[in-house]
Structures are given as structure tokens and as C-alpha cells.
A and B are shown apart, each in its own frame.
Chain A
Amino acid sequence: MDHSLPQIADPIPRATPAETGRRPEAPQFTDDPMLDRLYGVTLALVSELAVTRSRLDALERVLARRELVDQDEVEAFVPEPAAADARSRLQAEYLERVLRALE
């Protein structure tokens, strides 16, 4: 089984200056460009955590509606191989999203 992380890139990459003849635009708001990047990652994390919490909320409500939610079963959950692969892809997409500011 291949455990390497799938290669996921931004679906629509930024055009290069050679392609457009334009200056790359890169405003810098702090004195240290690394700090700007850190803000970028942090804010992406902020939004992704909100998405995740919304999804958990949706899931729990759907399960509760069907009287299916069992907290112990969730705590003990280990994914099957196919589920683990799907999770791996989700994680790769997730990293591409939250690390956008480092591109």
C-alpha cells in the first residue's frame, strides 16, 4: 500500500510574471515577510477549523436525529484501509489550503 501523501496543488496557479508581463503583487503588512506568511497560515487555519466544527455539528445533528450517535464508538473509531486512504487525501487537500500563504 502506498502511504505517500498525494500531490495536491492549487487548482488555478498564480500566473508568472513571464506569462503576464506584470509585476507580481505581494503587499507586505509587517516588518518581517515571515510574519505575513504566518498570519496567512493562521487565518486559513481559523477558517478551516470553523469549517470542521460546522461539519461536526452537522454530522452530530444528523446522527442525533436518527438516534445513532454513540460517543464511545466515536472515541474508539479506527478507519478501514479505504477510509484511511480517503482521509489521507483529505489531509493533503487540507494542507494545500492552509499553507496557501506560503506559496
Chain B
Amino acid sequence: MSSPSPWHTIGRHDVLPATKHDDRARFDIVAHLNAQIAQTLSPRVKTAYEARARQAFRLRHGRDPVDRHEVAEAMQREPAYRVFSLVRRNTMEIRQHAGRQLVARQAEALRDRAKWANDGARTLQLDPTLEAPRYVSAVDTHLMRGGYTAERMTDDVTNPANYDAGMYTTTGGAGGPWNDAAGRALVDWLKREHPQFNPRRIVDLGCGLGHNTLPLRAAFPEADIVAIDVSAPMLRYGHARARSLGVSDVTFMQADATKTPLEDSSSDLVFTTMVLHETSRQALPQIFLESHRLLRAGGLTVHLEQPPYRGLDPFEQFMRDWDGRFNNEPFWSALHESDLPALLVKAGFGAGNVFESRCSALPPSQTVIKNEDFGRAPSWYVVGAWQAAKGIASLG
């Protein structure tokens, strides 16, 4: 990982919060702190594990730790891990605080700019009667106060504005100026693995503010694209952002990904990017069922996530689980222990049509990243399934 890109290289659009020198400098030091965590503190945790903690565990148990829980037991008193965690957690707190200050002082201006950009467009379809599921509304995801759905005034967009402005600091710019690396990675994967696939209707479930929706627009200019989320603030901001970037034909629709108002067999591509780990044990299989319901024969569902823990070295499992323990990601651990291919089969996809893969926003030759900060590099696990002709799926 190289030095983080300065914040001022972020892509500009009309609803991005206005920043002053110190706001930008504050985001820059947060990005540098994150780089320092990945390059210096994280390797020290591994050294401490290999040099001391694993040995102490061996002395107590006569064997190595076999899973992340046993690594956690071995590491809980290890100063290197505590310092890593203290710095990583506080860096996230500082990033969130900087974002809160930035958006709170211009909340009304941001609201007005979003309203002006949205201007009653039919492509923004909000449903004031929709109640957000508790797994979204009750969690300050990534320590963002109020989470995705908080509304502090009518037509509020402060949390998505904070999310959009500050996300760059977590990735150090690795997601590109538009923070759309996952969307670009998905497009790259589709074009490379399935060059003939030309979806007419694309559905992005849990689109957030649409970072990863827009690369699909560029890649499939003829397709009808519906970006779905439960959060009205995210959709308001995302719709305004898209229009500001010249994209006025993506529909941003407020709906629950487990029960969208879209018709059966109406879509060719149903995808999510880093959404499944922010759902719940109950919602996850329902999202797969909904994907199955929406797809036409020959359609494809694809989900980008961090890799499952199965098959990973116990120490790496333990490090990857940090967000589940300390970054307000309550479903993170359970998701990464779930058998997603099996859940897709259970949702009705034929076993022979279910696949796992990898994708990356970088050309394949550049995908080896030194000291990937466990889950924050622009590279993803892909799980998905093809929809067979109706009635044949069960034979798969």
C-alpha cells in the first residue's frame, strides 16, 4: 500500500460537503493514520502472535489455536493487539467526528442543494410508509451516529454527506476518486467472465448512496437500472449526486431488499456490494429468495463481500473479525461464517448454477497488495448464481 491520496483529489459533485483547509487536512491525517495502522501496527500484531502469544497458547493447550476464538484468547492480553485496536478504533472515531462537524454546520445548505438537484424527479421514489428493519435503524454502523437512516430534519442528507466525504479516508483513496471500486470490479468481472451477458434490467439491492451503482450505468448504457435502499437520506443524496454527475436515468427506490415492489422475473442482474454483512441472520436468506424471485431465466445474481472465514488461517480470521468486534458491524462475524453458496441453493438456485469467484478493481497483474489492511483493499469475494429456466432450477 502506498501513501494515501490527498483528500482534495476526491471526485467533486454538487452535494459533496464544502470543505475548508482544516477539514481536508483532518481527513488527510486520518488517511495517514489508517495507512500507518496497516503498514506498521498490523504487522506488529502478527509478529507478537508468532513470537509470543501462539507459543504461550501451545504451552497451555499443547497445540496451536484452531479458530479465531482461540486466537482471540491467545491475543487478548497482547499489548501489540491492544495498541492496534486502540489506534484503529480512535482513528475511526476521529474520522466520524470530523465528518459530523463538517456536515452539521452546513446541514441546511446540503439539504437545499439535494432538493434542488432532485427537483421532484420521478427517478427518486421514496416511500414514507416504509419502516427500516431494525438491523439497519438500530445500529450506528461504522460508528456513524444514527446510522444510515437517521433524519435530523425534513429532507435531511447529513449522514450520507458525512459517509461520502469521509469514506475516502478509510480506503486512503484505494476506491478511486468516486469510491466506486466495487462497482468497477463487478463490471470488470462481468465483462471478462461473461462478455456476452447484456442485462436489460439491473437491480442494486442496498445501494446506499449509489457509489457502486453508477459504474453499471456506464458499462450497460441501454439497461434499466433500479437502485434500492431502505434509507431515504441515502437515496436523496445518492440521486442528487448521480444527477450532478450527469446520470439522470437510474431509478433510486426506497424499499426493503427482502420485499421489493418489483415484479417476478423482471430482472437480468440482481447484485449487492458489501451489503450482506450489514443485514441479519433472518434477512440474508430472504434477500437471496428475493433475488431469485426477481430474476428472469438466464439472469444472474452476484454479491461482492469480504471472503468467508472458512479455509482462512485462524490468525487471519481473527484479524478480519476486528470490524465485527469493534467497528459496529454486528452481523459481520456471522456473515463470514455463513455458507453463502448453500443459502443460494436453499433460495431456489440450482446447485450447479451457484459459483464463487474473486474480483478486483485493479488489473489482475496489480492485485498483489502488500499488507492489505484486512478487508479494506479494493478486492472482493464474489458469490452468485444463474437463474435456470423456471421449473428446471430444482434439477441443478
Q: A: which residues have CB within 8 A of B?
A: 10-15, 20-22, 25, 27, 29-30, 36, 39-40, 43-44, 46-48, 50-51, 54-55, 58, 97, 100-101
Contact = CB atoms under 8 A, between A and B. Distances in A.
B22 A55 contact: yes
26 contacts: A11-B104, A12-B100, A12-B145, A12-B152, A12-B158, A13-B145, A15-B145, A20-B138, A29-B82, A39-B87, A40-B90, A40-B93, A43-B94, A47-B33, A50-B28, A50-B32, A51-B22, A51-B29, A54-B22, A54-B25, A55-B21, A55-B22, A55-B25, A100-B94, A100-B97, A101-B90
A11 B100 contact: yes
Contacts of B28: 50, 54
A78 B25 CA distance: 26
Given A11-B100, A20-B138, A47 B26 contact: yes
Nearest to B23: A51
A17 B305 CA distance: 31
A-side binding surface: helix, strand, loop or mixed? helix
A25 B328 contact: yes
Contacts of A101: 90, 93
B21 A11 contact: no
Interface string B72-105: 0000000000100111011101100100110011
Interface string B1-42: 000000000000000000001100110111011000000000
Interface residues of B, number: 32
A83 B29 CA distance: 27
A58 B26 CA distance: 14
A82 B21 CA distance: 22
B355 interface: no
B25 A50 contact: yes
Contact of B146 (A12, A44, A48): A12
B326 interface: yes
Given A29-B82, A36-B86, A50-B29, A100 B138 contact: no
Nearest to B30: A47
Nearest to B29: A50
A30 B86 contact: yes
Contact of B82 (A30, A48, A97): A30
Interface in B335-353: none
Interface in B101-129: 101, 104-105
A25 B96 CA distance: 15
Contacts of B82: 29-30
B325 interface: yes
Nearest to B20: A55
Contacts of A54: 21-22, 25, 28-29
Contacts of B22: 51, 54-55
Nearest to B104: A11
Q: When A and B form their complex, which 9 residue pairs have the shortest distance between CB atoms, in order from nearest?
A: A11-B104, A54-B25, A50-B29, A43-B90, A51-B25, A12-B100, A47-B29, A39-B86, A29-B82
Contacts of A43: 33, 86-87, 90-91, 94
Contacts of A20: 138
Contact of B97 (A22, A50, A97): A97
A22 B104 CA distance: 24
